[in-house]
Structure 1
């Protein structure tokens, strides 16, 4: 039976927006989304729940608030504030919290003052209060859940009084992991301006060098991250420097495809990358969906230098497009690829045979194992599982 879901999305940008669009495309339930633009993260975490509830009370007074069988909310708000201040008839409905990220494992900017880093711990407790207020909690990766639990346990040791020791058991009992929905790369009907649109505030493309496409023997490496401190721009530059040195010593010629979103303020390491390695950068900046997929499919590797990644939709898309994984043994990546695919790079792989040295699998074998790992993230499967959680919460 179709259920009615009233959903609150306080950060409707980037991968958050992509998840919403997939839900709307594949849902069997009847969803009504309330959204806010993706800006002001601290303000969203502290005020979005109250703002949404205020708006919903106004709709209720005007007789315009829809009835709902369940409430769905994403993690960039305080669900405890939302649930406490919604119209009374909605407060008692099952509340499902989708933990797209957690604030305890989100790295502070190097420019953040120490007192502000301490203040940011309050946002982690906003997450904890949201989890306590939820009937079900969905995490997009086991790493997301594990990093939150480990981080909160450390923070609670500094509390002036012991906190209820039952919090972890309640969290684990209400929680399950469902990967974010990933749309098929073959879907030509997917709206290019919605799922990979360039958010306000940043240039669409910085560099496009078509002449580099004439090198058939070049090894093409996708780096699909936002151009921000938490994505390891400095490590990318170090790797590019190493690649240039090893090429001079007879190693493979690496070409770079920097497909993540740039912003108005470009990190210094990325400026250096664009200057020192322009003769090896085929593209830098955002691409429309069709061109983005075509670029992934002609690449050989996907590289991540991220220091923070709760799932990695762009990395998963690159893998599904046929890229070999150049991924660190950290964050969510061990959930995306089999153990034998961690630690590979273009220098320990025979490019002519696609046979990673020291491994029993060739490129085709690795991709088969990766496809098996990523099958639960197929958009229709992931949305179906998410709706089953909501149905179970309603029927409980």
Structure 2
């Protein structure tokens, strides 16, 4: 597919997998950066796109003397393309990594197709600028190259990471956050910039150099003192109430129920807005909710996100077991309906085994949800420690506490400045990235 461009295009945008976040980024660039001309392939059969898109584009992209910059996602084998089209080799070549195949989770390492990661390494070698959507994405890729190349039986290349690193930079994925004020319940208040704790750490979409070392955060399995703030709040509340009433029992009287604030009476609304795939670890998420149900804790549930051909079996089982708690189940094709569901939720949970950025979590935070994320992957880079859990038991305790005190989640102002990840904040850096000339 070719998207319409200006009379004299200067930026050639190529996307072999035109769907999801890949599509959103390409559309943003084409709509807002002058001189862009886009060629795409539908977001189907990812493995075949990675194998064959270079040949397709070599035959379908016309020769154009006005091109100055080539921008592509890392699905494209750029090395093959510039070999097939020497006229494109002269351009400033920018590759954007939404994810990387060196650490992308597979059921068994033997199932990992060496060719996909190898192609990404080769593409980096011929690129002029290599851009990652997070520091975690960049560091996990670069640090994995030496061990990845050891899979080659003999005559292994060396120091490829040292050749690639000088070309690399982090530029966060730009999100177009809509105005959701009309959809927010009265109890939700969006954060103000002065409330944010990360404003100084996230500047123009690039983490400060001292923040790109994630080793401690990825391996630390100990809860810091500041992580216990919610537990302390609950303990104080329990002491004030003297004894927590069993939530399985109905109130003794209407007056007792009316004595509670409205925020406390409504059950906690938990949302899971991720793809229905194994790498998002739905098994862990649903095991937490089934445990909450078994302990008679009140909650409501919305399971959103896209469903593919063969979703994990846990979704069918979980729907049967959690049916009385379900408000929404399945992908909401209407953007307004999706945002309304997020605005109505109290807590958003990730149990991912793979996440290089996490658009869905940031969109939920933008809609006023309290985030609970693994203390791993990209999450320590974006979310303060109080929103991270290191073990399943920690996650359960946080959800349990919120079920007992839903108002604690509803009245909390999340300390994440989502505007730092907005297109308006990042636009200038993308425009600079796509300017003609060598880096």
Match of 2:47 in 1: 42
Measured after TM superposition, the shift of residue 352 of structure 1 is: 5.6
Question: Given that residues 132 and 170 in structure 2 are in contact (C-alpha distance below 8 angstroms), is that contact kept between their aligned partners in structure 1?
Answer: yes
Match of 1:125 in 2: 118
CA distance in 2, matches of 1:100, 1:52: 20
Measured after TM superposition, the shift of residue 390 of structure 1 is: 2.5
Match of 1:219 in 2: 268
Measured after TM superposition, the shift of residue 311 of structure 1 is: 0.7
Question: Given that residues 185 and 317 in structure 1 are in contact (C-alpha distance below 8 angstroms), is that contact kept between their aligned partners in structure 2?
Answer: no
Match of 1:379 in 2: 423
Match of 1:68 in 2: 67
Question: Given that residues 347 and 409 in structure 2 are in contact (C-alpha distance below 8 angstroms), is that contact kept between their aligned partners in structure 1?
Answer: no
Q: Does 1:108 align with 2:137?
A: no
Question: Given that residues 109 and 230 in structure 1 are in contact (C-alpha distance below 8 angstroms), is that contact kept between their aligned partners in structure 2?
Answer: no
Q: Does 1:291 align with 2:341?
A: no
CA distance in 1, matches of 2:134, 2:142: 13
Q: Does 1:14 align with 2:20?
A: yes
Structure 1 pair 149–164 and aligned structure 2 pair: CA distance change class (3 A)? same
Match of 1:210 in 2: none
Q: Which residue of the other structure, out of 341, 345, 348, is the alignment partner of 1:302?
A: 348
Structure 1 pair 154–164 and aligned structure 2 pair: CA distance change class (3 A)? closer
CA distance in 1, matches of 2:324, 2:401: 24
CA distance in 1, matches of 2:180, 2:71: 27
CA distance in 1, matches of 2:351, 2:405: 22
Match of 1:163 in 2: 157
Provide runs of 4+ in structure 1 moved above 4 Å. Answer: none
Match of 1:394 in 2: 437
Match of 2:186 in 1: none
Structure 1 pair 270–67 and aligned structure 2 pair: CA distance change class (3 A)? same
1:163-192 deviation per Cα after TM superposition (whole angstroms, max 9, x unaligned): 132x2223221111111111122189xxxx
CA radius of gyration, larger in: 2
Measured after TM superposition, the shift of residue 340 of structure 1 is: 2.5
1:282-323 deviation per Cα after TM superposition (whole angstroms, max 9, x unaligned): 111122101111111111011111111111101110011110
Question: Given that residues 279 and 353 in structure 2 are in contact (C-alpha distance below 8 angstroms), is that contact kept between their aligned partners in structure 1?
Answer: yes
CA distance in 1, matches of 2:344, 2:299: 13
TM-score by length of 1: 0.80
Q: Which residue of the other structure, out of 27, 31, 34, is the alignment partner of 1:29?
A: 34
Number of equivalences:
341
Measured after TM superposition, the shift of residue 124 of structure 1 is: 0.6
Q: Does 1:347 align with 2:347?
A: no
Secondary structure, aligned partner of 2:437: helix
Match of 2:294 in 1: 245
Q: Does 1:279 align with 2:324?
A: yes
Match of 2:238 in 1: none
CA distance in 2, matches of 1:51, 1:216: 58
CA distance in 1, matches of 2:310, 2:158: 43
Match of 1:228 in 2: 277
TM-score by length of 2: 0.72
CA distance in 2, matches of 1:337, 1:48: 36
- Unpaired runs of 5+ residues, structure 2, are 1-7, 182-263, 390-394
CA distance in 2, matches of 1:270, 1:224: 13
Question: Given that residues 316 and 336 in structure 1 are in contact (C-alpha distance below 8 angstroms), is that contact kept between their aligned partners in structure 2?
Answer: no
Measured after TM superposition, the shift of residue 351 of structure 1 is: 2.6
CA distance in 2, matches of 1:381, 1:140: 14
- Unpaired runs of 5+ residues, structure 1, are 189-214, 357-361
CA distance in 2, matches of 1:155, 1:90: 29
Match of 1:204 in 2: none
1:171-230 deviation per Cα after TM superposition (whole angstroms, max 9, x unaligned): 221111111111122189xxxxxxxxxxxxxxxxxxxxxxxxxx9511111101111111
Measured after TM superposition, the shift of residue 68 of structure 1 is: 1.0
Q: Does 1:153 align with 2:179?
A: no
Measured after TM superposition, the shift of residue 34 of structure 1 is: 0.5
Question: Given that residues 185 and 321 in structure 1 are in contact (C-alpha distance below 8 angstroms), is that contact kept between their aligned partners in structure 2?
Answer: no
CA distance in 1, matches of 2:382, 2:361: 9
CA distance in 1, matches of 2:320, 2:406: 31
CA distance in 1, matches of 2:265, 2:174: 34
